[in-house]
Amino acid sequence: MSLFEVEHLDLFYGQTQALKDVNIKIEEQAITAFIGPSGCGKSTFLRVLNRMNDLIGNVTTTGTVLFGGKNLITDYEPMELRRRVGMVFQKPNPFPMSIFDNVAYGPRLFKRYTKSDIADLVEDSLKKSALWDDVKDRLGKSAMSLSGGQQQRLCIARTLATGPEVVLMDEPTSALDPISTARIEDLMISLKKQYTIVVVTHNMQQASRVSDDVAFFLVDKNRCGFLVEYGNTQELFLNPKDKRTEDYISGKFG
């Protein structure tokens, strides 16, 4: 089942067009990877899916973006949309507060919790992000004391705590070492049992390891991003339909 349905999406920063005629359906409870060279609009398109581009200003979109069958622009309040479509950024960005309060911060914005209920929610979110065993005895310690990989898993826990349906990840392992990267990849595969995951990555091996579907973006001569090819990961990597896709994944450019 398609959770997002995008038709003829164009996006402009002022008068400059950044995305052109993007058409894609993103499946529920699957991992979809966006690949392509730097500057081709992958992250810009990712931010369309929870309206993070609204925060930049002077951004205009045309076309249709449906989330759960409803118009993402007109039928959702931005805060509610971002609760349901969470975001994990490229660099870990824990808040300068305790590990516990980092995870509890989002839920407290939307609802009043008893002390017991919020503690249960924090524990559940940390378990889902494979961090509970690392931090259960130091929840009151500063989140800044964690390693880079632990901080990124904390940010994932913070996102999960608000009860999203979708987790967007913008190059979530690019700042991490190989061991931490492997843990995040294992976590993504585990989370897709409950969530829809959309990830931007420059790592072709990572896309082939973790994703179910892949979207390949390029830029035209005007530096405008567009979708070249989209499909099942194995089929796209082994038998791409477009020569440009084959050239990119084989390392001939990019």
Ordered mean pLDDT values, 10 residues apiece, the chain (254 residues): 96 96 98 96 97 92 97 93 96 97 94 93 98 98 97 98 97 94 96 97 96 98 97 97 95 74
pLDDT in the model for residue 121: 97
pLDDT in the model for residue 71: 96
pLDDT in the model for residue 254: 63
pLDDT in the model for residue 1: 81
pLDDT in the model for residue 111: 85
| Residue type present at position 97 | M
Burial of 140 (0-12, 13-18, 19+ CB in 10 A): exposed
For 11, the token pair is 């996006």
Counted residue by residue, the chain has a size of: 254
pLDDT in the model for residue 153: 98
* CATH tag for 2-92+165-250 (out of 3.40.50.300, 1.10.1040.10, 3.60.20.10, 3.40.50.2300): 3.40.50.300
Domain definitions of the chain by residue range = 2-92+165-250
The DSSP secondary structure of 212-247, one letter per residue, reads SEEEEEEE-TTS-EEEEEEEEHHHHHHS-SSHHHHH
pTM: 0.95
